[in-house]
Structure formats: C-alpha cells, structure tokens
C-alpha cells in the first residue's frame, strides 16, 4: 500500500469518533487515509438494524454502555478499551467486487507478521484459530470508499455476550439481524506478551506499508466534527428513530401481578401499546396506553410520560420503575 495520511481522533467517545470518520469520508476526497481509534464501552449498531432487537438496553444503561448507530451496514459489535478499530479511506478503484478482500488482506498480513495465523472468512470476518477477532463493514460515497473494522485485542467478552443478547421473540421486524459468532481476543493467541499500545504501534506500521504521514484536523474541522457528533451520532432520532417498524410482546411476573405488553414501534416510538394481566387496576389502563402512544422507547421519556399518573390506580402495587424496565428491557 502506498504512503498514506494517518489520523488519530484523540477521543474515546463513540459519537465523536464516528463523526470524525464521516467527516474524513465527506471532506477528504483524495489520497489514501488510515485512521486508528478506540471507543470506550459502546455498542455500535449497523445502519440498517433495529437497535431494540440487538441490544439489551437495560444492561447497557445499567453499565454505562453507549449505544450508537454507524453509517455502514453489517451487525452490532461491542467496543471497549480492549478493542482497536481501524478505518481505510481511499478511491473505490476498478475491482469493487473484490473490495473486502482488498482491505482485509493487509490486516491479515499484519496479524500474520505478529505470529498469528489469521485468515479472512465469510463476507467480512477475520478469524484466528477459528475464532472471530474482527468484523468489517464498508460504505461507498461516489468514487470514495470507507472500509473499517474492529480488532478484539483484550476486550471483556462477558460484557459483549451480555449486552448483545436481547430477549428472544420480544421483537419482530424485517431489519438486518446480527449473526452471533464465536469470538476471541488476539492477546490470547499472541506467541509473546504484548500490550495494546504496542499492538497499536505495530499495526499502524504494518498497515502503513511504505510509511504514513501523520495528519490532523484543524480546529475548525474538529468543531465541525463535534457539531456532527452532537446533531447526529448522539441523537435519539439517529440511534433509535431509524429502527424499522416492529411488533413487540413481553411479559413479567411481579409481586403485584403479571403484566403483559403488546405494542407496535415505529421510528423508535410506541405507535400502539396495550397492557394485559392480573394486576389490581382500579381505573382502565387505556389512559396509560394513550399517554404512551408516540413516546420514545427510552427510560427518561417513559418516566416523564407516566409521571402525571398515580400508577397505583392503574397497576396496583407495581411501581413505575418496574413498568419502565419491562418496556425497555
């Protein structure tokens, strides 16, 4: 690979990093670019996924895990500071049908140079000894192409399996579903002990080929990235509102009785919702159903919508916290 410009974001904020990447794609229209970056505890969902089907939101909120939608397709992935991400930006070229191989090959070669028996597998994975250590995705914008991927170096795989395991059969939609794979950390396969900063340096040098020119954004460009991060990647409309319409069904047995919920969600908001169960209601729950119609499926929004009601009149001893948890789990 010819000499390229090398960028780091200086941030572990997933919204900022994804905005930084998008800014490079839209504004740097010539030459080859490499970006290495990390996100602190986050689930990054594909552009065409229903977030509700991919993420255990209660677990994510309880553990301070951000949920952000990226601009490329593919499945949901978990990021933490044990994970290193890479992005290539370049001209699309003539061999679009081989573009995934075109970009995964340098990564496979770089891992091989570190003593790892890595191989490309399927449409967008990299495996080491049969375990997935990297998933990739792409976006074409005119004559430019973005290819990015994850590299699991020393991630907390127990968190990964927990936050990417929503309750089965609660949601039904036609969105792109993630395929769960057996995953592993690169650190476990390395022939010699290595720190993540050392891995970062080695990967940068291997991917740069003949060498890289360090590059950075100007103050004005960084301010534009921050605006994009705030207006897009931190917004409910982008991260949840783009989810396709889906039906939901869930139930929970509580000390105050069993509650069953049927609903329809569009653009991340309840469009229809019905409550059933043996809870001790003194008033018809239709008032609650009406109040929740149009409300985002998000804890604070639901709490605000329920706040004006004395819920003991509608759900007996079942507290607001329990209801909100059920609706967003």
pLDDT tens-digit map of 226-247: 999 999 999 988 998 776 677 8
Say which DSSP state 97 is in. Answer: G
The whole-chain average pLDDT of the chain stands at 88
> Token pair for residue 260?
């069953």
Indicate the pLDDT class of residue 174, thresholds 50, 70 and 90.
very low
CB atoms within 10 A of CB 86: 23
Pairing of strands 257-266, 246-254: antiparallel
Tell me which residue has tokens 């001790």.
280
Q: What is the reported pLDDT for 98?
A: 47
Residue 169 has pLDDT above 50, yes or no: no
Q: What is the pTM for the complete model shown?
A: 0.77
For 1, 90, 102, 177, the CA distances from 5, given in Å and listed in that order, are 12, 11, 18, 35
| 90-99, 103-112, 193-202, 249-258: the lowest-pLDDT one | 90-99
pLDDT tens-digit map of 241-292: 776 677 888 888 888 888 888 888 888 899 999 888 878 777 888 899 999 9
Kindly tell me the burial class for residue 54, based on how many C-beta atoms sit within 10 Å of its own C-beta (0-12, 13-18, 19 or more): buried
Single out the residue of 298, 303, 273 nearest to residue 287, CA to CA.
Answer: 273
Pairing of strands 171-172, 212-214: unpaired
> Token pair for residue 119?
């191989």
Kindly tell me the burial class for residue 57, based on how many C-beta atoms sit within 10 Å of its own C-beta (0-12, 13-18, 19 or more): buried
Torsion of CA 271, 272, 275, 276, to 10 degrees: -150
Max Cα-Cα span within the chain: 75
Q: What is the reported pLDDT for 283?
A: 81
For 54, 76, 99, 224, 236, the CA distances from 232, given in Å and listed in that order, are 20, 18, 28, 12, 8
Are the C-beta atoms of 33 and 89 separated by less than 8 Å? yes
Structural domains in the chain plus CATH codes: 4-239 (3.30.930.10), 246-328 (3.30.390.50)
CA 306, CA 105: separation in Å to the nearest integer? Answer: 53
CA 280, CA 100: separation in Å to the nearest integer? Answer: 57
Q: What is the reported pLDDT for 94?
A: 65
Q: What is the reported pLDDT for 99?
A: 61
Helix (H) or strand (E) holding 151: strand 144-152
Q: Which percentage of the chain shows pLDDT scores above 90? A: 59
- Which string of DSSP letters, residue by residue, matches 287-309? HHHHHHTT-BSSHHHHHHHHTTS
pLDDT tens-digit map of 184-225: 999 999 999 999 999 999 999 999 877 889 999 999 999 999
């Amino acid at each position: 690979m010819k000499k390229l410009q090398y960028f780091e974001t200086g941030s572990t904020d997933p919204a900022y990093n994804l905005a930084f990447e998008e800014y490079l794609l839209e504004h740097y229209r010539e030459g080859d670019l490499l970006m290495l970056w990390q996100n602190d505890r986050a689930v990054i969902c594909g552009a065409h996924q229903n977030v509700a089907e991919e993420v255990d939101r209660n677990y994510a909120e309880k553990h301070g895990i951000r949920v952000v939608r990226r601009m490329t397709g593919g499945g949901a992935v978990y990021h933490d500071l044990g994970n290193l991400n890479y992005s290539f930006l370049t001209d699309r070229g003539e061999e679009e049908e081989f573009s995934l191989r075109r970009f995964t090959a340098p990564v496979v070669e770089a891992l091989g140079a570190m003593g790892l028996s890595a191989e490309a597998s399927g449409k967008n994975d990299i495996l080491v000894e049969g375990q997935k250590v990297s998933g990739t995705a792409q976006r074409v914008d005119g004559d430019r192409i973005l290819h990015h991927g994850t590299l699991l170096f020393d991630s907390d795989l127990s968190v990964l399996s927990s936050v990417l395991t929503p309750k089965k059969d609660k949601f039904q939609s036609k969105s792109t579903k993630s395929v769960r794979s057996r995953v592993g950390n690169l650190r476990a396969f390395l022939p010699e002990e290595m720190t993540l900063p050392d891995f970062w340096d080695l990967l940068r040098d291997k991917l740069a080929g003949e060498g890289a020119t360090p590059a950075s954004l100007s103050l004005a460009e960084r301010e534009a990235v921050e605006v994009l991060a705030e207006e897009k990647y931190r917004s409910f409309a982008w991260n949840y509102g783009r989810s396709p319409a889906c039906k939901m069904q869930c139930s929970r047995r509580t000390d105050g009785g069993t509650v069953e919920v049927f609903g329809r969600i569009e653009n991340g908001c309840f469009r229809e919702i019905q409550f059933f169960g043996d809870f001790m209601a003194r008033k018809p729950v239709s008032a609650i159903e009406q109040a929740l119609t149009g409300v985002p499926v998000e804890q604070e929004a639901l709490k605000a919508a329920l706040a004006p009601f004395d819920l003991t009149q509608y759900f007996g001893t079942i507290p607001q916290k329990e209801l909100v948890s059920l609706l967003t789990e």
